[in-house]
Amino acid sequence: MSTRSVSGHPRRGSELGDALRRWRDRVSPASVGLPAGRGRRTPGLRREELALLAGTSAEYVIRLEQGRAGSPSAHVLGALARALRLSEAERSHLFALAGQPEPADGRLRGRLTPGVQRLLDQMPGTPVGVYDTAWTLLAWNRLHAALTGDPSALTRRERNLAWQHFTRPPGRMRHTPEQQARFELAVVSDLRAARVRHPADAVLRSLVADLRSTSPRFAALWDTHEVSGHALYTKTVHHPEVGPLDLDCDILTDPADSLRIVILTAAPGSDSAGRLDLLRVIGTRRTAEPRNGTSRTAGSGPTPHR
């Protein structure tokens, strides 16, 4: 039987079935806790195994793959996405193939992608930190830890940029009065936008509530409802060993995964560039390789940064 519609385009069910088979073939049984066994004709999951993991029947999986099951529910699609270990983009594609709107759970989803991890690994000579959309530090490279202070021993709340800035004594990062006003307005605006996009995120709600009750400055800015964005500007980092460094701060955003990638650089030939070179030598010797927010530093304890 033909799998094409009258218009000549592949039927939606056929495309969905092809995608399910392809995704099923790439998931090894061992990776999901199932015995590999002998005599398998597929390197990936059998239909029965996918059905078991997704909480549905093998017959229904067969019908889906053959394009005979109609439109599966959002609940079934979500279970299949989890069982097949789909990425966020693949999950969205699965819902699109099934003709279903992807449900939003209203929670913040900060997730370090392989590409962002490679960026951290491949930029050892530049301080790089990765934050979620609420400005909680998720990952960093060794030079970032050497420059601003190792954050590995801090709690998630303590690694939040807004919490550090509005509730803690000044750290190594300093601003002029003009820079500070612009920085504070931009951070508060970002948190307000995150609250709108992720209304069901309890951690984010708690953070904002605690900031409003703890910091009069934050509460005043929050209540103005002013909106601002981040612009390129220079930060001064007062390092206890190499001295002050004037660094340009660039912020790259990954909207799909709600990430903010902060890159700090010094002007070529400047005193700050020389100090950063020195820090690469003396600072990273004491810093173990960090990974996904779990770095460790031998020597001095962590210093909160902002």
Instruction: Indicate which CATH number applies to the domain containing 81.
Output: 1.10.260.40
Residue 291 lies in a domain: no
189 vs 25: CA distance, rounded Å: 44
Q: State which residues form the domain around 206.
A: 114-286
Average pLDDT, the chain: 82
Could you tell me if 136 and 91 lie in one domain?
Answer: no
Residue 35 sits in the same domain as residue 69: yes
Nearest to 246 by CA among 269, 280, 284, 273: 273
CB 146 within 8 A of CB 279: yes
With a pLDDT cut of 90, the percent of the chain lying above it is: 40
Asked if residue 107 belongs to a domain, the reply is: no
Q: Are residues 282 and 177 in the same domain?
A: yes
Quote the pLDDT of residue 227: 75
pLDDT tens for each residue of 145-193: 999 998 988 898 999 999 999 999 888 988 888 888 999 999 999 999 8
| Rounded distance between C-alpha atoms, residue 188 and residue 267, angstroms | 29
Per-residue pLDDT tens digits for 63-100:
999 988 878 888 788 889 888 988 878 888 998 899 88
Residue 55 and residue 191 in one domain: no
Dmax over CA atoms of the chain, in Å, equals 74
Judge if 222 and 129 occupy the same domain.
yes
Distances (CA, A) of 268 to 53, 242, 243, 277: 55, 17, 17, 11
Q: Which of 301 and 54 is assigned the larger pLDDT?
A: 54
The C-alpha atoms of residue 40 and residue 158 are separated, in whole angstroms, by 49
* Residues 189 and 130 both lie in one domain: yes
Residue 300 within any structural domain of the chain? no
Proportion of the chain in helix, strand, coil states, percent, rounded to 5: 45, 15, 40
Residues 209-227 have a mean pLDDT of 93
Residue 222: CB atoms within 10 A of its CB come to 18
Q: Is residue 36 part of a domain?
A: yes
- CB atoms near residue 232 (< 10 Å): 8
Identify whether 172 is part of a domain.
Answer: yes
What's the structural domain count of the chain?
A: 2
Kindly state whether residue 106 falls inside one of the protein's structural domains: no
* pTM score of the predicted model: 0.61
